[in-house]
Amino acid sequence: MVAAVRSAMPEAAGLYPPTVVPPEQPLPFARFILQFIKNPLLTIARPVYDEGLLVRDNGRRIVAYVTSPTLLEQVLLKDAETFHKSPIEKRIFRNTLGDGILTSQGASWKWQRRTAAPLFRVSDLNALVPMMTAEGEAQARRWAATPAGSMHAIDADMTETTFRVISSTMFGGKADEDTREILAASDAALESVSWDIAAAIMRLPDWLWYPGKHTRRNAGRTLRALTAKMLTRRRETGIEGPDLMGRLLQARDPETDAPMSDSQLVDNLLTFLGAGHETTAKALTWSLYLLARAPEWQDKIAAEVQAVCGDAPIGAEHLDRLEVTRAVFKEAMRLYPPAPMMNRLLAEPTMLGGRQMPAGTFIVIPVYAIHRHRRLWQDPDRFDPTRFTKENEARHARTQFMPFGFGPRTCIGMSFAMMEGVAILGTVVRRARFEWDGKHLPEPLSRITLRPKGGMPLKVSPRAA
Ligand code: HEM
């Protein structure tokens, strides 16, 4: 039996934070399913980290793992119309995100994307940075109110912080009232998601029971009901406004001129609420873990923030110059991509990597393995933020680092998330020190987002001015 987590090499060799031990060869189907339920990352075989394309026939369908930058450009950009969002994704999200922007395809997706896109113009996002920084400051104050050196659940703290950011910036604060309930239901929905995905891979009939099925259904119902309640509250206070809710409520389908139905509105509001906080929270959580293991980088960030901002709070005008902070945030997303696996389904026969692939081929885009690929990165498991200095970054292929995806379905919130990540990381590190207990080696656990198994306990103390 192999250990699930490979831990640090000798510290003198640099920081090699926890990763998973891949199987030497692709797993047979039954073993694949068992491991997938435990942690989908344990099903990515070692050759996927070495080769550009690995094709398997598992007896039920052809599965292609794509990691070569050129082939990724084909799948996600050049032939994006042929590589559809997969029905597996649709099935697992049908009770929560329905047919919103993340899961829809074709004309329905285009309309929804066009409606939301103006909210994410960088020039407009700049105005939101003070709210992001303010939530980072509020979190630092909550830590400062506890004794120096006390242990905190950093994953829960970062989830709450990023949830407050999305609520205040996109929902006019309308989600705050139900924060606890929404976070608990989201957590329940994600915790048991691997069973749902495994059921979809095995094409189990809908009526069949499997662990977590009812929990996930109930969590989905709760989330939709709370979102519908938010919508009602908004209608009572007026639907106009330049925020996300205002835009969606006033949008019209270009073909039919119909407004979004209540169900479509809930699909989208829930998508933005979920996608807009959980991923950034995980990126920040892993960033703070790495910083606790490499404290010299905390000092570099604190010094950079002091040099760029003086005593002022981090604002939009500072972000470009916070280069070290951004490099650490990116390196954390390389080692621990918040969305570690993506997938597509081939809609028609297509040549891929010199091979003819039949329609129905299931495409796995293992972002986790792409970010640690032996041919793309030097010493890939080592924490080294200098990979993301401007000079070094220019040498990367466009699809070698892609925490936000690539092509037309790229994360709509990418700029928002980068601003938020840098503003919050810079803020909490200038205010506090984060310390590792010397023991916790959290396994990166894929549950749609990349969670630290066993949570993320770290000691927090105020940083002396
Ligand atoms: C570090 C933070 C984030 C990461 C790593 C991330 C990652 C991703 C990835 C990989 C995709 C593409 C999925 C695919 O192609 O299959 C995606 C799509 C999406 N993300 Fe993000 N995301 C982040 C933050 C955000 C934020 C802050 C928002 C909103 C405020 C957001 C909203 C969305 C939406 C709506 C989509 C669907 C876009 C479409 O299909 O047109 N994300 N995200």
253 — pLDDT class (breaks 50, 70, 90): confident
What separation in Å is there between the alpha carbon of 103 and the centre of ligand 1? 11
Res. 241: pLDDT tops 80: no
User: In this predicted structure, what is the pLDDT of residue 422?
Assistant: 98
Nearest C-alpha neighbor of 412 from the set 183, 215, 121:
121
User: In this predicted structure, what is the pLDDT of residue 348?
Assistant: 96
What separation in Å is there between the alpha carbon of 341 and the centre of ligand 1? 12
As given in the structure block, the two tokens for residue 21 are 């031990």
The residue nearest atom 3 of ligand 1, judged by CA position, is 279
Q: Write the pLDDT tens digit of every residue in 36-88.
A: 999 999 999 999 999 999 999 877 789 999 999 999 999 999 999 999 998 88
The residue nearest atom 43 of ligand 1, judged by CA position, is 411
The residue nearest atom 17 of ligand 1, judged by CA position, is 411
Please spell the DSSP secondary structure of 135-190, one letter per residue: HHHHHHHHHHTS-TTEEEEHHHHHHHHHHHHHHHHHSTTTTGGGHHHHHHHHHHHH
Q: What are the strands of the beta sheet with 432-435, ordered from one edge?
A: 150-153, 457-462, 432-435
Compute how many other C-beta atoms are within 10 angstroms of the C-beta atom of residue 149.
Answer: 11
Rg of the chain (C-alpha set)? 22
417 Cα nearest atom in ligand 1: 27
User: In this predicted structure, what is the pLDDT of residue 319?
Assistant: 98
The residue nearest atom 42 of ligand 1, judged by CA position, is 413
> Which residues, other chains included, contact 223 with Cβ-Cβ below 8 Å and sequence gap of 6+?
96, 182, 185, 186, 189, 270, 274
**What's the chain's length in residues?**
465
Ligand 1 site, CB within 6 A? 101-102, 113, 271-272, 275-276, 279-280, 283, 338-339, 342, 403-405, 409, 411-413, 416-417
Res. 6: pLDDT tops 70: no
Q: Please, what is the average pLDDT of the chain?
A: 91
Highest mean pLDDT among 5-9, 164-168, 415-419: 415-419
Place of tokens 């959290």: 442
170 Cα nearest atom in ligand 1: 30
164 — pLDDT class (breaks 50, 70, 90): very high
User: In this predicted structure, what is the pLDDT of residue 330?
Assistant: 98
User: In this predicted structure, what is the pLDDT of residue 371?
Assistant: 98
Res. 3: pLDDT tops 50: no
Res. 411: pLDDT tops 90: yes
Which residue among 108, 162, 279, 371 is best mutated to probe the pocket of ligand 1, counting the most ligand atoms within 8 A of its Cβ? 279
411-435 burial, b for 16+ CB within 10 Å, e for fewer? Answer: bbbebbbbbbbbbbbbbbbbbbbbb
User: In this predicted structure, what is the pLDDT of residue 111?
Assistant: 87
User: In this predicted structure, what is the pLDDT of residue 259?
Assistant: 87
Q: Write the pLDDT tens digit of every residue in 185-232.
A: 888 888 777 788 888 887 788 788 888 888 888 888 999 999 999 888
Distances (CA, A) of 376 to 120, 171, 449: 31, 40, 23
Identify residue 447 by its one-letter amino acid code. R
Asked if 366 and 65 touch (Cβ cutoff 8 Å), the reply is yes
7 — pLDDT class (breaks 50, 70, 90): low
- Report the percentage of the chain scoring pLDDT > 90: 68
Asked if 162 and 134 touch (Cβ cutoff 8 Å), the reply is no
